[in-house]
Structure 1
Amino acid sequence: MFYDMELFTTVFKEQLVSRLGKNVEEATADDIYRVLGSLIREHIGREWAGTNQAYKTNREKQVYYFSMEFLVGRMLGNNVLNLGVYDTVRKGLKELGWDLETIEEQEPDAGLGNGGLGRLAACFLDSLASLGFAGHGCGIRYKYGLFEQKIVDGHQVELPDPWLQKGNVWEERREDKRVEVSFWGRVEVSEKNGRTVFETVGDEKIWAVPYDVPIVGYGSAHVNTLRLWSAESAADPAKMRFGAQNGQPNNGYYTFLDYNRSVESISEFLYPDDSGYEGKLLRLKQQYFLCSAGLQSVLRTFGKLGLPFTELPRKVAVHINDTHPTLVIPELMRILIDEKGFGWDEAWDVTTRTVSYTNHTLMSEALEKWPIHMVRELLPRVYMIIEEINKRFCGMLLERFPGRQDLVSRMAVIESGQVKMAHLAVVGSYSVNGVARLHTELLKTDVMQPFYGLFPERFNNKTNGIAHRRWLMHANPELAGLICDSIGTGWIEHPDRLQELERFQNDPLFLEEIGRIKRGNKLRLADYIREKQGVSVDPDSLFDVQAKRLHAYKRQLLNVLHIMHLYHLMKDDPSVDRLPRTFIFAAKAAPAYFLAKCIIKLIHAVMDTVNNDPRMEGKLKVVFLENYSVSLAEKIIPAANVSEQISTAGKEASGTGNMKFMMNGALTVGTLDGANVEIHERIGAENMFLFGLRSEEVLDYYNHGGYLAREVYERDPRIQRVLDDLVHPGPFSRHDREFEFIYQSLLDHNDEFFVLRDFAGYADTHAAVDRAYLNAHDWAAKSVVNIAHSGHFSSDCTVKRYASDIWKIRPVRTAFEIK
């Protein structure tokens, strides 16, 4: 039906009646989405089953990508695109009186992720399936996403994100695949048949029930699986009698309702607030729940091959996306020793040849640590194994470096009352990769320098990538169409061929089309802004966008301080002809991150002042788009002229927003941080706008001092003026407590992320942007160069490098390809 428009419309009308008892004339947009999604999901089923059968038949090695986040966004548009039925569906719906874009809007963004970490995981799944690799995701089926962001009087307010309220048409509950996960209890040690046996007794058991989501590869021959685990009660209410060792009150007893609520909370919220003990405990529960359930499922699949478990590394690659799933390592050890009868050395050999690890951060506070007592009480057997790993590792260090107790303390897995997850991840894996070349070098020379000295062969770089089919074909179909008309369709499966666009960088007709498409995207975004925010923006102004998670090191603060400076310039001399600018922000701040929330408040104060000043009309506008998501990014990114990638050098591991904006023809204003370094190498300084400290300069300041923010403040009147605005009555501030906190962070706490140090360079760079934008031909030519080189940053290219260098896997042919 999906390859014949007439048949599609006939079947669709029949399905509306049989499923919902409605005619097309009575159906709502949500009805159309539900029926369409269900029909596509059923259509996928044949290829899904065939893919799984091919993996079993070929007995190829399979990758299991463990991640706490999979920011997949909406799946309808991506699925019809990858299935090759986009035109049939679009035309068929139009025949029925519906617009496909309107129907796509009915799908909620899946609340399974937060930022770049989760979006990378989603892009990787897309590329694994599209390239024909046996690669699956393993995550948690959160009932609620991070939160729905609302702005009230300039303040961020967090509301629940009930994305599953109407169900999920893409998932399949697999009751028969459920597994048991255990918490609390105590470990009893005994001897049986000449070997030591460890048994956990008095533990609390729960069910982990999988919900499988098909991941459709481009061309649809391969459909891999994202398996999401939901926590459910495993106890008989009549037999509930859990004691005080589980941390429960009521004289050692608690009710089934208490137990049931505790269980459900495990898969209820993405990233519960961990500022208190209970929140930390819940996050640790979530992480072990994912690791234990996922590994049991992986090992069950492997067991069907009939091979000894010593062969596990030859058939299975378990990849942990950042430190959140690090408990995979001791959990695999536990299963091999306690359930499969392995000795320690044999189990350790198998584990360290099966698990690989991606590090995503250079921020010390983001390298997870857990209190010993919490791990020991919640996961008694797992803690015993971590303790043994630490004991043996420290013993090896002392043998190799006699008398270097300082080094042992720096590298220990357990130290100062904490279990250090990044250390455990490095010690227990065979590969440790960074996500941009600069990031990997900083891991090797600074953050993990002693581990690199000990295990140099484990460290490697795999620069991040993005799913170019979603971020170009789906998000920007007009641009994708122009590219296909100009260089053919080969780039869709071979993104490096986008480089062929370079020959058009001086073609007037092509550049005119690039400008026309960009303006069309800006008009659509302007309509959205007017509808959602009630703000009118000029599509002929320069759209300057910073859309990413709100964090001090990403320096949204630098951006907004510069806008305050521009406002003063325009007020001081209104006669000067200036390039019209629209500054667009989109960002969520973590609920407990006070400074980030203060910056959101400042952006809104500046927005209110600028947008309500009639003298700024036609010159300056500021917009903050609330509740940033994948679907909102798909509207913003194609419309951007300028991409703000202004993190403090050495702090952003990679970034993938920089790649998405580049692929859609925006020019980068940025520091030489993360993947910006490699973008600069590909396109040259003439096709982007660089400023600011280099990573080695930042590191030198951190190591040796010498930076005084107050000195910068005192010698630059521009900085004095905008900072004084934060604490004195004026156009932006009325003694706001939040702004005083920002002021103190910059001056009293010496500006940790060098906002003031980079301000002058940033302001000069934006003046250069204004001059460059006035030459429409040259600006469009720079955009073309950016698009042409963006294929290098496709996740297809990145996943191929993971496959060959880390996972050692190859594409698998399915029956549909063979036919």
Structure 2
Amino acid sequence: MGRVTDTHAAPTPSSFAEEFLDELHFELGVSRETASPTDLYVALARAVRRHLVEGWFDTLSTQLGGDSKFVAYLSAEYLLGRQLENALLATGLTEVARDALDGLGLSLDELSEQEVEPGLGNGGLGRLAACFIDSLATMDVPAVGYGIRYEYGIFRQTFVDGRQVEQADDWLALGSPWEIPHPEMAVTVGFGGHTEEPAGTGEGTADGAPGPDARQWVPGWTVEAVPYNYLVPGYGTRNVNTLRLWSARATKAFNLEIFNSGDYEAAVRGQTYAENISKVLYPEDSTPQGKELRLQQQYFFVAASLADTIARALGDGDLHALPDRVVFQLNDTHPVIAIPEMMRLLVDVHGLGWDEAWDLTRRSFNYTCHTLLPEALEIWSVDLLGRLLPRHLEIIYRINEEFLASLRDSGGNELQVRRMSIIQEQPERAVRMAYLATVGSTKVNGVAALHSQLLRDAVLHDFSDLWPEKFTNVTNGITPRRFVRLANPGLSALLDETVGTGWVKDLDQLRGLEAHAEDPEFRRGFRDVKAANKQRLVDLLATRDGLHLPTDALYDVMVKRLHEYKRQMLKVLHVVTLYDQVRSGALDPADVTPRVVVFGAKAAPGYRMAKDIIALVNAVAATIDADPALAGRLQIAFPANYNVTLAEKLIPAADLSEQISLAGKEASGTGNMKFALNGALTIGTLDGANVEIRDLVGDDNFFLFGMTEPEAEALGQAGYDPGSFYEQDPALKSAIDLIASGAFSHGDPTAFESIVSDLLWKDRFMVLADYRAYLDAQSRVEAAYADPDAWTRSAILNVARSGFFSSDRSIRDYLDRIWHAPAVPARSNGLRD
């Protein structure tokens, strides 16, 4: 699958070794003998990057040389994972590089471990964006991903006395060999200031004079957005797309006059203030300053991206062609300020009339909603927006006025008008960004069948009633390149032998495995792969975290962002119940199915309850570890700082995938897809993409439990009383009482009072209501796991029937239903390195 250009012979180990040494000697300035491990890794990465650059040039030349439509994907997050192995896979250079390094006495695997993962995302949103840009490149679709080059990514998680402590993730401390900076392409971005009547010259407008609807924005201060390009190679294609991340830089970084006066701090204050914008992923926003910085980040990257996109798509061409040349996809609400920014550009800068500009804007944007939780739908106070982006607030007001007028004209009553207003009046005046995105887009999509239906029926039901044709569904997907081919080499080899190699780009070919699910020899091979993956994980966690785990146990895994709606507490209560039953003598330790329960989760720094739950998990783990009765039978592993790199080792080792959110709360999930595709069975509710996973893999190969979304909604409306479930279930009561007693906190009954009180009096996500059904489902898990052949058959069928969850399929759905951007395979332009 390697990329062999028309102008180059395929690289050999010898020629690649020369390129590696050339980078090491002449670019890094070190010899082979004096080079550090980081030097060697960087030289290797840059040598591999050479083989991406020509494809990148070819792609840019092909796309910019025609009139092809391209996708501008706007996302505040990209959880890319390590780049080296993916780049080697895409270029077909893995074995060439391995042989070249072997000849130099070096190890590809050891150098790969030097790479620092860029933590440019918080969870599923960023992982999805990374999968999508991989698929777009692989499918030859012209696309640019736009985001922020955070100097410090998602925090590095550590545990101190079992509690989460955040440390700065200085992923750029030693630089990144994968990025290509272009400071000469910097874009100036304004903030603050005021608006006024436009000057009569109409400088910068399309016809040399201001349009009738134009206003002049006079920013109070500006920053420069400097682009850093990351190359996104397609698999088995010449195509290399671009991920463009913006870094903030002061327009006047240093004031020599102030410096010479002796005020050294003031001389660089502008630089410090500007660079704060791209300093850290998702600054903690419980303070006014944090909220303002978040809004600055959002506007900063979309303003730079829109300016860049218009120049790329149109150059000096006709603005009216904009919707035919580019389609903007808003990945959640973070980039929605792009809608008024586009209106500002078209009306104020390019001189179009309002109606014409609004038509072009609406036809150019589409919005993906990623939540069902009302509190996750962003709002921005009009005070903050007016102070930071005064012209944009004026534009939003006018958009809203005209939208509400159209509602009234079509017979909408005042209650409906107020419900649908983009401007929220209570408890404070604020802009509802999801509403702005819905009004200002051509299409709105959810990310799983159930989620999209609930968007129509609940979250955005007024808008769905008004514009039913606007709403559609695109179920999420994952890239099989990273999450099977790279993450699970043993399974990949088995798949290659069984169904051929085409599955890497056509995951539906995995259906061919079904015929082998009854084959005893194939089952043994499948079990051998799982056993090897467990051993690989055990070795890693011993080195990485000092955890010592058995390999002959059921690996029960729950890895996802720590949030109450995901119900990590339900998993904790299950473990506490098992411990309690053994402790009380109700359960013989010999009857406990050997089980390793693996958690991986970060809690947002300001999310107290989530951090308390992490502390409880670690406290329960320590208590169980100290009980000799459970040695080899039950163990919790909670490795700190779960990330993509760890996921690539953990997911292939899992037997059981925990997807246990309250029905109607999870939008989709992508971890559930990764686990199924790697041969783990799911225990889950009918929530998010679990619904589609169960439909595809079959009810016999999925452990379903819990209330449906209508049942949960009905229970809530009837007046949910968690205390009644506590009183009626002795095992549940005993588990909660054990936590409350201080059994996991050295006798301190107050340590987890916040959790106990919340469960008994509030329990917003109905953990106690689903507890008994969950324990019953876990009993079914244990019975199934006791039959290795039957379990393996179900695991094989999960792999065979999960091809639908490829991100390639997701992108095809976007192309068919929303984007309508044809593939444009890159052509060689004859350039050499």
Conserved 8 A contact 1:463-1:675: yes
Amino acid of the residue matched to residue 403 of structure 2? F
Task: Please give the secondary structure, in 2, of the residue aligned with 1:653.
Answer: coil
Counterpart position of 1:770: 782
- Deviation string 1:10-64 (CA, Å, 9 cap, x unpaired) is 4434543334455545443322210011111122111101100000122200100
Counterpart position of 1:244: none
C-alpha distance in 2 between matches for 1:639 and 1:237: 53
C-alpha distance in 2 between matches for 1:278 and 1:811: 44
Counterpart position of 1:395: 405
Counterpart position of 1:329: 339
The answer to whether structure 1 residue 216 and structure 2 residue 225 are counterparts is: no
C-alpha distance in 1 between matches for 2:524 and 2:565: 37
Task: Please give the secondary structure, in 1, of the residue aligned with 2:371.
Answer: coil
- Deviation string 1:387-437 (CA, Å, 9 cap, x unpaired) is 1001111111111125x1111111101121010000000000000000000
Compute the TM-score of the two structures, normalised by the length of structure 2: 0.94
Conserved 8 A contact 1:38-1:170: yes
Conserved 8 A contact 1:2-1:85: no
C-alpha distance in 1 between matches for 2:298 and 2:547: 42
- Deviation string 1:194-246 (CA, Å, 9 cap, x unpaired) is 835411225211111100110000024000000000110113755999xxxxx
- Could you tell me which of 701, 706, 709 is aligned with 2:722? 709
C-alpha distance in 1 between matches for 2:323 and 2:267: 41
- Deviation string 1:110-135 (CA, Å, 9 cap, x unpaired) is 12111000000000000000000001
Mean CA deviation greater in 601-610 or 38-47:
38-47
By how many angstroms is 1:773 displaced?
0.8
Conserved 8 A contact 1:468-1:791: no
Task: Please give the secondary structure, in 2, of the residue aligned with 1:509.
Answer: helix
- Give the 3 Å change call, closer, same or farther, for CA 240–674 of structure 1 in structure 2: farther
By how many angstroms is 1:262 displaced?
1.6
Conserved 8 A contact 1:240-1:255: no
Structure 2 residue ranges without an equivalent (≥5): 1-8, 201-208
- Could you tell me which of 437, 461, 475 is aligned with 1:463? 475
Mean CA deviation greater in 532-541 or 414-423:
532-541
C-alpha distance in 2 between matches for 1:360 and 1:818: 43
- Give the 3 Å change call, closer, same or farther, for CA 575–627 of structure 1 in structure 2: closer
- Deviation string 1:476-523 (CA, Å, 9 cap, x unpaired) is 011101100111111112111111111110111111011001000100
C-alpha distance in 1 between matches for 2:33 and 2:446: 54
Conserved 8 A contact 1:48-1:223: yes
Counterpart position of 1:245: none
Task: Please give the secondary structure, in 2, of the residue aligned with 1:758.
Answer: helix
Counterpart position of 1:432: 444
- Give the 3 Å change call, closer, same or farther, for CA 26–506 of structure 1 in structure 2: farther
Conserved 8 A contact 1:433-1:459: yes
The answer to whether structure 1 residue 92 and structure 2 residue 100 are counterparts is: yes
- Could you tell me which of 338, 350, 354 is aligned with 2:348? 338
Amino acid of the residue matched to residue 603 of structure 1? V
The answer to whether structure 1 residue 408 and structure 2 residue 420 are counterparts is: no
Aligned pairs (5 A) from 1:154-165: 154-165=162-173
By how many angstroms is 1:255 displaced?
4.2
Mean CA deviation greater in 100-109 or 76-85:
100-109
The answer to whether structure 1 residue 293 and structure 2 residue 304 are counterparts is: yes
- Give the 3 Å change call, closer, same or farther, for CA 503–818 of structure 1 in structure 2: farther
By how many angstroms is 1:675 displaced?
0.3
Mean CA deviation greater in 405-414 or 201-210:
201-210
Counterpart position of 1:270: 281
Mean CA deviation greater in 4-13 or 588-597:
4-13
By how many angstroms is 1:577 displaced?
2.4
Compute the TM-score of the two structures, normalised by the length of structure 1: 0.96
C-alpha distance in 2 between matches for 1:733 and 1:758: 29
Aligned pairs (5 A) from 1:799-810: 799-810=811-822
Amino acid of the residue matched to residue 372 of structure 2? L
Task: Please give the secondary structure, in 1, of the residue aligned with 2:562.
Answer: coil
By how many angstroms is 1:301 displaced?
1.1
- Give the 3 Å change call, closer, same or farther, for CA 780–3 of structure 1 in structure 2: farther
Conserved 8 A contact 2:327-2:365: yes
C-alpha distance in 1 between matches for 2:787 and 2:105: 43
Amino acid of the residue matched to residue 245 of structure 2? L
Aligned pairs (5 A) from 1:609-624: 609-624=623-638
Counterpart position of 1:130: 138
C-alpha distance in 2 between matches for 1:705 and 1:558: 22
By how many angstroms is 1:99 displaced?
2.9
Task: Please give the secondary structure, in 2, of the residue aligned with 1:270.
Answer: coil
C-alpha distance in 2 between matches for 1:594 and 1:633: 25
C-alpha distance in 2 between matches for 1:163 and 1:84: 27
Task: Please give the secondary structure, in 2, of the residue aligned with 1:815.
Answer: coil
- Give the 3 Å change call, closer, same or farther, for CA 431–733 of structure 1 in structure 2: farther
Amino acid of the residue matched to residue 448 of structure 1? L
Amino acid of the residue matched to residue 258 of structure 1? R
Task: Please give the secondary structure, in 2, of the residue aligned with 1:535.
Answer: coil
By how many angstroms is 1:804 displaced?
1.8
Counterpart position of 1:45: 53
Structure 1 residue ranges without an equivalent (≥5): 242-249
Mean CA deviation greater in 50-59 or 357-366:
50-59
Counterpart position of 1:552: 564
Amino acid of the residue matched to residue 595 of structure 2? R
- Give the 3 Å change call, closer, same or farther, for CA 738–265 of structure 1 in structure 2: farther
Counterpart position of 1:662: 676
- Could you tell me which of 471, 482, 488 is aligned with 2:494? 482
Conserved 8 A contact 2:58-2:829: no
C-alpha distance in 1 between matches for 2:266 and 2:27: 41
Amino acid of the residue matched to residue 743 of structure 1? V
Counterpart position of 1:247: none
Task: State the percentage of identical aligned residues.
Answer: 43
C-alpha distance in 2 between matches for 1:537 and 1:721: 28
Amino acid of the residue matched to residue 381 of structure 2? P
Counterpart position of 1:151: 159
Conserved 8 A contact 2:254-2:271: no
- Deviation string 1:580-604 (CA, Å, 9 cap, x unpaired) is 1100001000000000000000000
Counterpart position of 1:523: 535
- Give the 3 Å change call, closer, same or farther, for CA 107–351 of structure 1 in structure 2: same
Amino acid of the residue matched to residue 178 of structure 1? A
Counterpart position of 2:504: 492
By how many angstroms is 1:738 displaced?
4.6
Conserved 8 A contact 2:140-2:237: no
Aligned pairs (5 A) from 1:52-71: 52-71=60-79
C-alpha distance in 2 between matches for 1:25 and 1:508: 52
Conserved 8 A contact 2:253-2:271: no
C-alpha distance in 2 between matches for 1:759 and 1:4: 59
Task: Please give the secondary structure, in 1, of the residue aligned with 2:802.
Answer: helix
The answer to whether structure 1 residue 534 and structure 2 residue 546 are counterparts is: yes
CA RMSD of aligned residues (A): 1.9
Conserved 8 A contact 1:601-1:738: no
The answer to whether structure 1 residue 302 and structure 2 residue 319 are counterparts is: no
C-alpha distance in 2 between matches for 1:662 and 1:818: 43
Mean CA deviation greater in 311-320 or 230-239:
230-239
- Give the 3 Å change call, closer, same or farther, for CA 302–623 of structure 1 in structure 2: same
Counterpart position of 1:727: 740
Task: Please give the secondary structure, in 2, of the residue aligned with 1:353.
Answer: helix
C-alpha distance in 2 between matches for 1:225 and 1:736: 54
